Amino acid sequence: NAGVTQTPKFRVLKTGQSMTLLCAQDMNHEYMYWYRQDPGMGLRLIHYSVGEGTTAKGEVPDGYNVSRLKKQNFLLGLESAAPSQTSVYFCASSPLGAGKDEQYFGPGTRLTVT
């Protein structure tokens, strides 16, 4: 299994540009998450999904949209990038069920908005 993969690994955007980050998991997990991590900070939850076709807001959702059209994929969109969105973005997934919800993280996408 590849686990959780993220595309792209690095990206530089100009203010106002849009982009989509792709997260894919091959573990048949129900839950998927998008986090951001700023320098010297812990991770903060942006959006999450508890199953195909469902999404919900996390701690810092403003400026981002998400979609979960397929169970294995979770997309994070930035419609109009801002310098404040410069960060490292991590995707994670976890299985459904009590005692089985440890999260598996991808390698991250490093985004710079100039």
Partner 1 sequence: DAKTTQPTSMDCAEGRAANLPCNHSTISGNEYVYWYRQIHSQGPQYIIHGLKNNETNEMASLIITEDRKSSTLILPHATLRDTAVYYCIVRPNAGGTSYGKLTFGQGTILTVHP
Residues near partner 1 (CB under 8 A):
4, 31, 33, 35, 41-45, 48, 50, 56, 58-59, 90, 92, 94, 96-99, 101-108
Shortest gap between Cβ of 8 and partner 1 (angstroms)?
15
CB nearer to partner 1: give 14 or 39.
Answer: 39
* Residue 19 or 43 with smaller CB distance to partner 1: 43
Q: How near is the Cβ of 15 to partner 1 at its closest, in Å?
A: 25
Tokens of 72: 């294995």
Cis before 8? omega within 30: yes
Q: Which residue shows structure tokens 């400026």? A: 63
Nearer to partner 1, 17 or 37 (CB): 37
Report the 10 Å Cβ neighbour count for 39: 7
Looking at the Cβ atoms of 1 and 97, the one nearer to partner 1 is 97
Residue 34 Cβ, how far from partner 1 at the closest point, in Å?
Answer: 12
